């Protein structure tokens, strides 16, 4: 699972959870795969992602040191920063681990790079 | 090519254009056309199922990289209006066409894709004459034509099938009536057995005025025979027809209002029995019984059951004599027999073409070649697969020896050779001192020779005449030896400098006098004569495609050995979508750089993988609920990532989750494009849950869709999806519905766009039922205005919140 995907995930679907974003990551196996760098894509994506969530997630998997806490105004011209962001967003891949709901503590397992977000009967509205 | 400055120098590869035709999944022609236009910058013609355009030779390989097409070929020749006539003429003219085609461009284009170690001449050094080319090959040992009515029946209900039965019965009655009036009957009811029944029949016969035709001589000859049983048979069969004529009127009255099931059955059996007697020789017993049943039937029409016995082996034991006489009788009948299988006989009725038809080609030696052509097509229904020798199959592409005729009728049969063969074979029909056989019967028997060589085996058991047996064996042997000779001829040293090829013929239309196998064989035979290429149906280098669509004939060379849709995936689920269909669906959505593309029901991940390979500047992800689908997805993704690695390409921007679409774990407004093949309700899911399923899908998609999002959904259950869209019409607007052929099913591709109406955020924290979303709609207007602000503000907003 890539961090870009994680940035979209929420556990708000669970009954009673109001703020299910962002999910905490507990990673046991992480890989880095090379993905072609495409600047326009990164820039456009940055306008969609939730930066603090990304920053937190990157730190949780151990690739967050290079990322600033806040995204400044001139990030578009900073190529090194963009490349680091590219790395965090697309190249880091969580193979094994867990996603944890920040509110309820419900764990979603990740195996073979695929998180299982299925809920049980009592967790959703009947 | 050496650089020359003369004008005769062939154009360079980037200037020379060839015509490419590519097949497309029906329904997506416009989409494929768009892709071709973008990639090649030319005008592209689209008709049902295919697109055609011109491509410079050096870009032929790019055609194979297209995502929306399945099979590609380079067209070398088109004839808009071929004016098909009878079998021999049509096939001969097809063969003659080989000479008139300019093979050069096609072969060059082909060589861009398939490197053949030797140059392939587009024109032979010695161009064979027309006569050498026109060596028509007709394949006769074909299985009986497919019963297309069975397929149609499937679609009809109970009443449709009943209607068909009634129609069928009426037709049979009419046909047998007409057959009678034209059928010739013998003047001499010679009958050594002198059965009471037969006498009765002969009395009846004698009372009619008969037309005496050539059959008489055959009958005479037959009567000379020792084996009177055959005469009996023939007489009986003729009698049967007459009785039928008498009977049909009566039975019609009796069955005027048939309860289609029972009455129809017996009537049909009755008719069948008569037809059987008309067409086939049956064992004595059966015929006698049938004859008896006819007489019985004249008294009590209701009994169809006795006719049952005559229904047994139709066509199993046909002797040449009956065969010949039947054939002759059919020939001399001024009109065509009604059961027209598979385009038997006849000129195409209407020619809407402007160009005058060319003069038909008749074989010079054989003035009755026309009839022979007809003979073959009419014989087709009589011929039984099991009877003919196997080697008929190996005919394609090899020249016919003049003495050889097993399974194939060589229409160019020179008269003398024909007669010679006939003499050896027709011994049981004629006595040894048979006078001049009239040409027509010669023809008939020569046509029957394929049957002879095989039926000879069976008759050899019956016949007591050793001479006949001897001669038949001789003819068999002769056939065998020529068989081995032919095989030897085919299996000579393969010439590595010549490509191996096959001809595939696709034929559409009702009015052709030939079938695709014969056309392919004839065309192939002409190609062998022209180029000297070798035939290999399985391990071929070059595939020549002969496409006959009613009056239009197209010759092309295949550029794809396997359809291009076999790509990307290694693990398949029960409903995995073809890669070309995935591609076309993605194309419909006009995906822009930077888009997030989601398949909420991805199955084996066909769509996201196809998307990630072709739209590299986007992020593709998907999800499925089923464990098995996830397993297969893992395999597929691993395989494709591995492939990318090996080709030194970047890893794919691809991700998959396991989720339930009714509770999508996605934040609001994060997806730009949805593309999905949703469960039809047959192999996957069930029709009864579809309405609820589609509604939840659309509502969750509505919540997670960004401004200006599009959704492309494929389903067969059109009505359920339309209802769901209507229920959620506030959020989704229907833009397009395409009718697409999904493996024979009628699929519908819906293209929807997301309206600006927002889904209320309060409802997103806890998913209630649909009603809640609807209630919240009043707030929608406020939120809509909020949404219309530029999207880059969203990150700013989030930051302020956390502070």
Q: Answer yes or no: is pLDDT of B240 > 60.
A: no
Domain A3-118 of CATH type 1.20.1260.10: no
Q: Which of residues 32-91 of A touch B (CB under 8 A)?
A: 33-36, 38, 40-41, 44-52, 70-71, 90-91
Answer yes or no: are the C-beta atoms of B404 and B410 closer than 8 Å: yes
Show residues of chain A in contact with B766, CB under 8 Å. 12, 15-18, 125
Cis omega (within 30 of 0) for bond into B332 = no
Nearest to B710 by CA among B671, B739, B748: B671
Whether the link from the prior residue into B486 is cis, omega within 30° of 0, is no
Contacts of residue B706 in chain A, CB cutoff 8 Å? 48
Confirm if B690 and B720 have CB atoms less than 8 A apart.
yes
Determine the pLDDT at residue B145.
62
pLDDT mean over B426-454: 41
Of residues B630, B658, B666, nearest to A10 (C-beta) = B666
C-alpha B302/C-alpha B298 separation (Å) is: 10
Is A96's pLDDT higher than 70? yes
CA B14 centroid distance within chain: 37
Phi, psi at residue B261, to the nearest 5°? -70, -65
Asked whether the beta carbons of residue B651 and residue A41 sit closer than 8 angstroms, the reply is: no
Give CA separation, B25 vs B48, B255, B506, B580, B584, in Å: 9, 49, 17, 8, 9
Which residue in B634, B670, B802 is closest to A112 by CB distance? Answer: B634
Largest CA distance in chain B: 118
In whole angstroms, how far apart are CA B401 and each of B351, B494, B522?
36, 20, 14
CA distance A108 to A121: 15
What is the Cα–Cα distance from B498 to B534, expressed in whole angstroms? Answer: 7
Tokens (6 digits) for B10: 């062939």
Token pair 């060059």 in the structure block, residue:
B108
Determine phi and psi for B34, rounding to 5 degrees.
-60, -45
Contact state of B795 with A51 under an 8 Å Cβ cutoff: yes
Cα(B298)–Cα(B775) distance, rounded to whole angstroms?
81
Tens-place pLDDT, residues B154-188: 555 566 677 778 888 888 888 888 877 766 544 44
Residues from chain A that touch B663, judged by Cβ atoms under 8 A, are 13, 119, 124
Is B133 buried (19+), middle (13-18) or exposed (0-12) by CB count in 10 A?
buried
Q: Does A113 touch chain B (CB under 8 A)?
A: yes
Structure tokens at B266: 């017996």
Contact at CB, B665 and A11, closer than 8 angstroms: yes
ipTM above 0.85, yes or no: yes
Provide the pLDDT confidence category of residue B355 given band limits of 50, 70 and 90.
low
Q: For B320, which DSSP code?
A: H
Q: How far is CA B329 from the centre of its chain?
A: 33
What are the tens digits of pLDDT across the range B286-328? Answer: 444 444 444 444 444 444 344 444 444 444 455 555 555 555 5
Partner-chain contact B795 A50, CB within 8 Å:
yes
Query: So what's the pLDDT on residue B143?
Result: 67
| The pair of three-digit structure tokens given for residue A21, joined into one six-digit string | 């974003």
Cβ–Cβ below 8 Å for B765 and A52? no
For residue B444, pLDDT beyond 70: no
What's the CA gap between B652 and B671, in Å, rounded?
18
Nearest partner of A98 among A89, A88, A108, judged by Cα: A108
- Token pair, residue A88, equals 């965090």
Domain range summary for chain A, segments of one domain joined by +: 3-118
Residues of B in contact with A46 (CB under 8 A): 795
Q: Does residue A53 have a pLDDT over 70?
A: yes
- Partners of B79 in the β-ladder: B553
User: Which one of B649, B663, B664, B669 would you mutate to disrupt binding with A, by most A Cβ within 10 Å of its Cβ?
Assistant: B663
Q: How many CB pairs under 8 A join A and B?
A: 118
Residues of B in contact with A44 (CB under 8 A): 593-594
Average model confidence (pLDDT) across chain A: 88
Q: Against a cut of 0.80, is the pTM above it? A: no
Q: First-to-last CA distance in chain B?
A: 73
What pLDDT is recorded for position B748? 94
Copy the structure tokens of residue A92.
Answer: 């880091």
| Residue B455 CB-density burial (10 A; 0-12 exposed, 13-18 middle, 19+ buried) | buried
Asked if residue B409 lies in contact with residue B505, where contact means CB atoms within 8 angstroms, the answer is: no
Asked if B313 and B282 touch (Cβ cutoff 8 Å), the reply is yes
- The Cα of B37 is separated from the nearest Cα of chain A by a number of Å equal to 26
Alpha carbon of A50: minimum distance to chain B alpha carbons (Å): 6
């Amino acid at each position: 699972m890539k961090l870009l995907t994680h940035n979209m995930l929420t556990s708000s679907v669970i009954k009673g959870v109001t703020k299910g974003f962002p999910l905490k990551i507990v990673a046991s196996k992480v890989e880095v795969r090379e993905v072609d760098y495409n600047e326009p894509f990164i820039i456009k994506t940055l306008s969609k992602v939730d930066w603090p969530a990304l920053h937190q997630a990157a730190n949780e998997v151990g690739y967050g040191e290079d990322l600033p806490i806040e995204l400044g105004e001139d990030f578009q011209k900073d190529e090194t920063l963009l490349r680091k962001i590219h790395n965090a967003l697309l190249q880091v891949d969580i193979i094994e681990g867990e996603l944890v709901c920040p509110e309820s503590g419900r764990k979603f397992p990740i195996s073979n790079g695929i998180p299982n977000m299925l809920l049980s009967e009592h967790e959703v509205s009947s | 090519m050496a650089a020359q400055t003369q004008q005769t120098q062939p154009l360079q590869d980037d200037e020379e254009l060839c015509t490419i035709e590519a097949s497309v999944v029906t329904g997506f022609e416009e989409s494929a056309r768009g892709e071709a236009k973008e990639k090649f910058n030319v005008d592209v013609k689209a008709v049902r199922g295919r697109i055609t355009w011109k491509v410079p030779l050096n870009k032929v390989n790019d055609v194979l990289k297209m995502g929306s097409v399945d099979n590609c070929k380079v067209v070398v020749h088109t004839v808009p209006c071929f004016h098909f006539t009878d079998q021999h003429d049509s096939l001969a003219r097809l063969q003659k066409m080989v000479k008139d085609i300019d093979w050069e461009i096609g072969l060059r284009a082909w060589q861009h894709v398939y490197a053949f170690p030797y140059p392939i001449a587009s024109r032979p050094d010695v161009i064979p004459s027309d006569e050498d080319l026109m060596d028509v090959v007709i394949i006769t040992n074909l299985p009986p034509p497919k019963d297309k009515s069975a397929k149609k029946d499937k679609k009809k209900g109970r009443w449709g099938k009943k209607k068909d039965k009634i129609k069928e019965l009426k037709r049979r009655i009419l046909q047998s009536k007409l057959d009678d009036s034209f059928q010739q009957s013998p003047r001499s009811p010679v009958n050594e057995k002198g059965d009471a029944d037969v006498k009765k029949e002969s009395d009846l016969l004698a009372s009619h005025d008969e037309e005496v035709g050539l059959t008489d001589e055959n009958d005479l000859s037959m009567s000379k025979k020792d084996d009177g049983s055959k005469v009996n048979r023939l007489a009986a069969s003729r009698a049967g027809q007459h009785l039928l004529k008498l009977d049909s009127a009566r039975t019609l009255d009796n069955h005027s209002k048939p309860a289609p099931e029972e009455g129809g059955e017996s009537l049909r059996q009755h008719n069948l029995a008569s037809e059987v007697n008309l067409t086939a020789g049956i064992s004595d017993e059966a015929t006698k019984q049938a004859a008896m049943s006819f007489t019985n039937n004249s008294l009590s029409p209701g009994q169809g059951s006795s006719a049952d016995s005559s229904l047994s082996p139709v066509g199993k034991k046909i002797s040449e004599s009956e065969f010949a006489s039947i054939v002759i009788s059919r020939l001399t009948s001024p009109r065509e027999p009604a059961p027209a299988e598979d385009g038997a006989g006849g000129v195409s009725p209407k020619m809407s073409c402007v160009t005058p038809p060319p003069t038909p080609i008749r074989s010079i030696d054989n003035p009755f070649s026309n009839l022979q052509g007809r003979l073959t097509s009419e014989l087709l229904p009589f011929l039984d697969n099991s009877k003919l020798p196997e080697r008929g199959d190996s005919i394609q592409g090899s020249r016919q020896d003049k003495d050889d005729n097993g399974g194939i009728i060589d229409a160019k049969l020179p008269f003398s050779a024909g007669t010679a063969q006939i003499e050896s074979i027709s011994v049981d029909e004629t006595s040894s001192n048979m006078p001049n056989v009239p040409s027509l019967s010669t023809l008939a028997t020569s046509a029957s020779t394929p049957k002879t060589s095989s039926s000879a085996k069976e008759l050899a058991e019956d016949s007591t005449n050793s001479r006949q047996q001897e001669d038949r064996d001789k003819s068999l042997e002769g056939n065998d030896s020529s068989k081995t000779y032919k095989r030897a001829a085919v299996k000579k040293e393969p010439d590595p400098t010549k490509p191996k090829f096959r001809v595939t013929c696709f034929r559409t239309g009702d009015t052709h006098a030939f079938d695709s196998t014969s056309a392919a064989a004839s065309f192939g035979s002409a190609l062998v004569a022209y180029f000297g290429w070798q035939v290999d149906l399985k391990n071929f280098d070059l595939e020549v495609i002969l496409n006959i669509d009613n009056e239009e004939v197209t010759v092309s060379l295949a550029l794809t050995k396997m359809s291009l849709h076999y790509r990307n995936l290694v693990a398949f689920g029960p409903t995995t979508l073809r890669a070309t269909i995935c591609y076309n669906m993605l194309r419909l959505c006009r995906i822009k750089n930077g888009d997030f593309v989601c398949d909420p029901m991805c199955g084996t991940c066909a769509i996201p993988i196809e998307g990630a390979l072709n739209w590299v500047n986007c992020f593709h992800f998907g999800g499925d609920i089923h464990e098995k689908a996830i397993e297969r997805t893992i395999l597929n993704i691993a395989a494709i990532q591995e492939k990318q690695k090996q080709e030194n390409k970047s890893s794919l921007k691809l991700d998959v989750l396991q989720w339930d679409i009714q509770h999508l774990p996605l934040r609001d407004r994060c997806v730009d494009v949805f593309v999905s093949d949703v469960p039809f309700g047959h192999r996957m899911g069930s029709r009864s849950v579809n309405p609820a399923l589609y509604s939840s899908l659309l509502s969750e998609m509505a919540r997670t869709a960004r401004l200006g999002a599009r959704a492309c959904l494929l389903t067969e259950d059109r009505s359920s999806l339309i209802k769901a869209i209507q229920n959620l019409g506030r959020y989704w607007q229907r833009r397009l519905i395409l009718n697409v052929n999904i493996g024979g099913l009628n699929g519908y591709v819906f293209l929807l766009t997301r309206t600006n109406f927002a889904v209320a955020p309060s409802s997103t924290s806890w998913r209630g039922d649909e009603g809640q979303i609807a209630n919240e709609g009043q707030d929608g207007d406020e939120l809509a205005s909020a949404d219309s602000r530029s999207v880059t503000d969203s990150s700013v907003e989030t930051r302020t919140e956390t502070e």
